[in-house]
Amino acid sequence: MSRLEGKTAVITGGASGIGLGAAKRFVEEGAFVYIFGRRQAALDAALKELGPNARAVRGSVTDLADLDRLYEAVKAERGGLDILLANAGTGSFAPLGEITVEHYDQIFDLNVKGLVFTVQKALPLMGQGGSIILTGSSTGVMGTPAFSIYSATKAAVRNLARSWALDLRGTGVRVNVMSPGPITTELAQEVLGDEGVAAMGASTVLGRMGDPAETGAVAAFLASSDSSFMTGGEVFVDGGLAQV
């Protein structure tokens, strides 16, 4: 039997990049997957790749009514939720001295506030054996020039997992962080450009960018009972970037 056979999963930011890589792996391992995102065209394209064991719900994690619609759809069709990958996020460069209120609000609203309520609203659907996975980043433990606000949001995500693991003591629900390094995604391409992507790949110990399939494999491990004695932890998928 596949590791995730019969499980129900929600992936925010699931229409592309790391989220889609995880959705593909979850479906391969037997899960029924809901992907949640803001772009209908991307959701439609992702569904064509994922097949019949996937659904798409359009919305933003910064809109609580959209999150309510997502979880109402899950409850109506599946009854409950086993796996949540809180993956939606954004980032852009702004060095100290050029940080604007708009830059700060956009990134913290999506990466922290959106994640908090994505998780909190999922809890009534989750029970014994449930797994919550938060997407962190290698930047959460590193200094990164002109990327301080994004990096700070990912440091916040790491601490939320530590605190929530204690809050969830006795519920049977685990929470862990998966922290990617440089992964080949649309967001990375948009933020870094071709030269930046090449430089980031070269900066890792393995000398290359990661692939969303590689983060998907780690997400599947954290979603499954193979990681049953892990909670409050962090797993880096960063080619060694933040490790040496």
Find the length of the chain. 244
Could you report the per-residue pLDDT of 12-71, keeping only the tens digit for each?
Answer: 999 999 999 999 999 999 999 999 999 999 999 999 999 999 999 999 999 999 999 999
Q: Around Cβ 198, how many Cβ atoms within 10 Å? A: 13
d(CA 24, CA 42): 14
- β-bridge mates for residue 37, sequence order: 58
d(CA 127, CA 148): 36
The model carries a pTM of 0.97
Q: Around Cβ 115, how many Cβ atoms within 10 Å? A: 22
Q: Around Cβ 72, how many Cβ atoms within 10 Å? A: 12
Backbone conformation region of residue 63, classed left if phi is above 0, alpha if psi is from -120 to 50, else beta: beta
Task: Check residue 189 and give its pLDDT.
Answer: 84
Beta strands in the chain (DSSP E): 8-12, 32-37, 54-58, 83-86, 131-135, 174-180, 234-237
Longest dimension (CA), the chain: 55
Task: Check residue 197 and give its pLDDT.
Answer: 86
Q: Which residues are catalytic?
A: 150, 154
User: Please, what is the average pLDDT of the chain?
Assistant: 96
Question: Which phi and psi angles does 118 have, rounded to 5°?
Answer: -60, -45
Could you report the per-residue pLDDT of 106-152, keeping only the tens digit for each?
Answer: 999 999 999 999 999 999 999 999 999 999 999 999 999 999 999 99
- The residues spanned by each domain of the chain are 8-237
Class of domain 8-237: alpha beta
